[in-house]
Structure 1
């Protein structure tokens, strides 16, 4: 290890002293504020909050930026304040320590973990409380760990200063580092309306421009490393940058390799809906909103755009075609006690006046574009064409028009719920008006916006990095469908639709301890018993468990077109998953050595990402990112050097995993072993 440490130190000195940096556009004026930190976390969702939480407990100086003014992402600014969890993991409380603290704080505040009495989750609550409670946790954590939190709401990253590659001859070494970042923080211009008056589509482009506007005043921030306390304390990296954004913004801005949308069908992704990659078909996104049941009927005006989206709305399935069922699905506050009811085999309590529901419904307020004309998250080619990858050109990497339509389809969905009489999937006579409900708006509403929509849409799929090449992953590391899916891949569909060699490779990959026998043809394919667990990674630094849950793109453009359907085959990979792991390799991008990716941007395939996207996973990934960074500082190494010799022994990787486990940030589920096939009971 001494030889490695000396080479690391030399590389670090070269990077720090290099006078040649990547092209960086000059802002219109010098930075209004210089900010230094050891960890710059971009994105204040649950992954970002978890990174900050563990960084603060380690006594680090953490800068946390967020495009909205709320911390918490899914539980707050995106309005998805219904924790997506699986029963066994919840019953055993096998979550990261910070996530458990958050759940416990919610329970103490309401005297109930589920104040909404929803039936989709064991915990549904108000988004505004999610922000407030999590913000308090971070403040308390900073005091407890003697760390420093520098919180920057209403802030976006505009530019990255990246050194050119210096490492040669090592495919695992990226050789580049982020030296600084330029950000823009906005606040209301004098005598204007407050933040959160207008929906995101009307403000996002303004937020990424340097110049003051009639709407916003701008402060230019320059983030850079906090220098070591002593001159002799040389590090290979003086700070780390974590992309915890919802769409993989820094992944695109830094131009590291990534994927979007459908992966080509292979033995690793056998349920893929296409034989070729399609970057435009990502999972749908959703603007959530709150609605309240009232004692008296309300007057509802039809939005001017309603008829455009009316052909889309539906209860989707007959067993779900009940307004009380849909209302209570994600009910986030229930001060009364409704009568017990059952519909479609689902038990719930009927809504009563004063109940508040958060709406997040596939054939309701999901917006599901899937073509190059309307995809939300722009590809690298689209970004290049738009000039967003030129110095000073970054504008967030999203299609503003699709944001606007997502807002409209959501507001139209409320009108359908209360006044609609059509159903696109179930036909006439199913949908009945429900006038005793009102749409909640205002800065004191559950979403904290004048317009009533969530401050940011719920994003289900981001730009997903391609990890660095490693043993068994010559094209770059990636978590795939077969690494965690419970699907029966021996069915006729896979036997008949996969080429023979691809099917053999699939069976071999799933054979577990029998893999060598299959590979040598000493065991017939139809005699193979597939493994009954997820893939076990030697570099696992976190855990998660959720179903592979699809909100697929639509077949035609525009998504709301009459008669439109899901993209054919997109739901084939949906289903239950085994408890799964978060390998460190999935968080390390190519090219850049002082950057980690947490949350939805990890190296996971399109199908795998449909499970790796929920609340507890995001927290676990963020906790792993911060602990890995703290460990790298302590050991004087770079994160990729913890995994660059796999599958050979990595003693420091073992030490990192021991640290995570001792913290209560579990790197693996109990009794994880290649010989343990007892995972069917994990619901």
Structure 2
């Protein structure tokens, strides 16, 4: 059942309630795990899926009460896929199973008839499908799933030598007897409470201690996988990581900064659902609307059509509308009863980019706020920025239905659309009383710096030039980069001619450019997506009138070659029994803009779960599989064969180092 709550009433949910911090108490529960997976997004559930099929005892924690991350609790239930990969159905086996179950649920893959994807659907159904997949994997593989929803990791206990996570302390929160149900309040109101050991007015807390499952066969008793959206465990474990923009170099030549700039990550989004109605609906202006209204825009003239924006990520369409075309895009027009999920760059994207408003705290900010002290962890996010993102989303809905100005396109572009309503309630598409997603869609988090590797003594990273199709003969690079850097860039892209470029026998301008992504000998998964940016804004606050995107941030955007996921990108420094999945693997800021969508997240989760299972069985640490590269490592080859044999590809067809023509994968 869907309910309509006025925006004025919704704003009362944005008023924070106070929580008092207290020292930790003894755990209420101790749970044994072979693999502890933190984060129940697509990467986390994929890791759990493969680990269960391998017969392991898996502990999986998730901050919300829905599994699936992007496609459920974050509301972005539209599968972002490249047409070539989709046409060949070349995905990890679990991702294919997910797509098949979506199709079986609705008798079609795209029940929303959206135009941005071949599959748009209801977020709550995604959770149900994924949960059943995990239960089926548990039964098939004879593993054991210990699932902890509404659960956050609060503390880690690390060995004296600093190399092993010995245990993890978590808080599972549940509503008190007389408090409102879960998902009544927004994340900004509840996050401090969720990470607090003390019971509160709204939540009772169950303190859980996760420890290794005892084994007489294995000295390496368990593995921890960080599959959180922002890299919480890598921050808590204090392993080296990057955040935000990397400086210009021959590896990252399109960077918008000459130095590290940690405050600018991609924008985050609170999604919401709105329904088309036959009659006009009452629309009440939020009290903060005028603060955010100067930001909103259709962005481009070819997108300046309400029906096009509504159907962009339409997630439910009981009746097919008439065929329509605008700006070169074909779609079916909305009909009453259609439900749209909104996720728009110049709409409910919130894009902070300064030290005053960045969402994800830097290490220095974590220290300053006491979050790296024992018992001090609160998720590593700026609560005030979360709250402003929530307000921005509510204001954007009002702009869609009542606004008549456009910040980028001027007057006479935006017209009111009153025949719509904002969907709220526990049984609404977002599953929340307030109508916003349970958790924001966060496109970029902390990114580890891998261990020293052949050719990368500062720590392994996947860089822009490893995947980008960009033409680096562009005059910008020749004029902007120092001569030495430009020569290094051309040499890095020259393949067999690299030595000739470095020694000066061939000029950089005449050197051939390789026509593929970097081939990694330790590839454990695949992905393919454009380098897609939602840049931060120049000034604070993001919604300030006349504010602009950070200059040069879209320079690196564009098409990417199909790419691989290197195992070295998943292995952090310092901690030997920690693996990293999701968006926190070792990529640069620009490469991360491609390494972030649905099928990639699933693929890297598959790799994390399979590597952890293999390491347990072989009684080794993952770094031992790659520390001798480029020398061949027999056990690495065994691992790759296990992945391939189980239907989890580590390379795209016809994309070997010997094949210079990757045209089939554009």
Same-fold call, TM cutoff 0.5: yes
Equivalent residue number for residue 429 of structure 1: 412
Residues 482-505 of structure 1 deviation map (CA, whole Å, 9 limit, x = unaligned): 000001011100000000000000
Pair 1:210-2:165 in alignment? no
Equivalent residue number for residue 398 of structure 1: 381
Pair 1:66-2:62 in alignment? yes
Equivalent residue number for residue 186 of structure 1: 173
Rounded to whole Å, the distance in 1 between the matches of 2:458 and 2:147 is 38
Residues 548-572 of structure 1 deviation map (CA, whole Å, 9 limit, x = unaligned): 0000000011000000010000000
Contact 2:467 2:591 in 1 (8 A): yes
Residues 241-268 of structure 1 deviation map (CA, whole Å, 9 limit, x = unaligned): 0000000000101100000000000000
Q: Secondary structure at the match of 1:681?
A: helix
Residue number among 580, 583, 586 corresponding to 1:597 in the alignment: 580
Rounded to whole Å, the distance in 1 between the matches of 2:597 and 2:27 is 36
Contact 1:294 1:353 in 2 (8 A): yes
Rounded to whole Å, the distance in 1 between the matches of 2:142 and 2:457 is 42
Per the TM alignment, residue 26 of structure 1 is displaced from its structure 2 partner at its CA by 10
Rounded to whole Å, the distance in 2 between the matches of 1:365 and 1:50 is 28
Residue number among 84, 101, 108 corresponding to 1:105 in the alignment: 101
Rounded to whole Å, the distance in 2 between the matches of 1:164 and 1:461 is 32
Q: Secondary structure at the match of 2:157?
A: strand
Pair 1:669-2:656 in alignment? no
Equivalent residue number for residue 620 of structure 1: 603
Contact 1:374 1:399 in 2 (8 A): yes
Contact 2:281 2:421 in 1 (8 A): yes
Q: Secondary structure at the match of 2:256?
A: coil
Rounded to whole Å, the distance in 1 between the matches of 2:619 and 2:24 is 37
Residues 418-459 of structure 1 deviation map (CA, whole Å, 9 limit, x = unaligned): 000010000011000000000000000000000000000000
CA RMSD of aligned residues (A): 1.0
Rounded to whole Å, the distance in 2 between the matches of 1:246 and 1:632 is 24
Equivalent residue number for residue 22 of structure 1: none
Equivalent residue number for residue 561 of structure 1: 544
Residue number among 447, 467, 483 corresponding to 1:500 in the alignment: 483
Contact 1:512 1:674 in 2 (8 A): no
Contact 1:66 1:155 in 2 (8 A): yes
Residues 607-630 of structure 1 deviation map (CA, whole Å, 9 limit, x = unaligned): 000000000000000100111111
Q: Secondary structure at the match of 2:166?
A: strand
Equivalent residue number for residue 3 of structure 1: none
Contact 1:152 1:185 in 2 (8 A): yes
Equivalent residue number for residue 218 of structure 2: 234
Residue number among 635, 641, 666 corresponding to 2:624 in the alignment: 641
Q: Secondary structure at the match of 2:589?
A: coil
Per the TM alignment, residue 390 of structure 1 is displaced from its structure 2 partner at its CA by 0.5
Rounded to whole Å, the distance in 1 between the matches of 2:236 and 2:112 is 40
What is the TM-score of this pair, normalised by structure 2?
0.96
Q: Secondary structure at the match of 2:133?
A: helix
Q: Secondary structure at the match of 2:101?
A: helix
Equivalent residue number for residue 358 of structure 1: 341
Pair 1:54-2:50 in alignment? yes
Rounded to whole Å, the distance in 2 between the matches of 1:392 and 1:453 is 30
Per the TM alignment, residue 677 of structure 1 is displaced from its structure 2 partner at its CA by 1.6
Pair 1:539-2:547 in alignment? no
What is the TM-score of this pair, normalised by structure 1?
0.94
Per the TM alignment, residue 27 of structure 1 is displaced from its structure 2 partner at its CA by 5.5
Equivalent residue number for residue 657 of structure 1: 640
Rounded to whole Å, the distance in 1 between the matches of 2:84 and 2:496 is 26
Per the TM alignment, residue 164 of structure 1 is displaced from its structure 2 partner at its CA by 2.9
Equivalent residue number for residue 338 of structure 1: 321
Equivalent residues in 2 for 1:292-307 (5 A)? 292-307=275-290
Structure 2: 5+ residue stretches without partners? 1-20
Pair 1:316-2:299 in alignment? yes
Equivalent residue number for residue 13 of structure 1: none
Q: Secondary structure at the match of 1:414?
A: helix
Residues 214-235 of structure 1 deviation map (CA, whole Å, 9 limit, x = unaligned): 010000000000111xx3x132
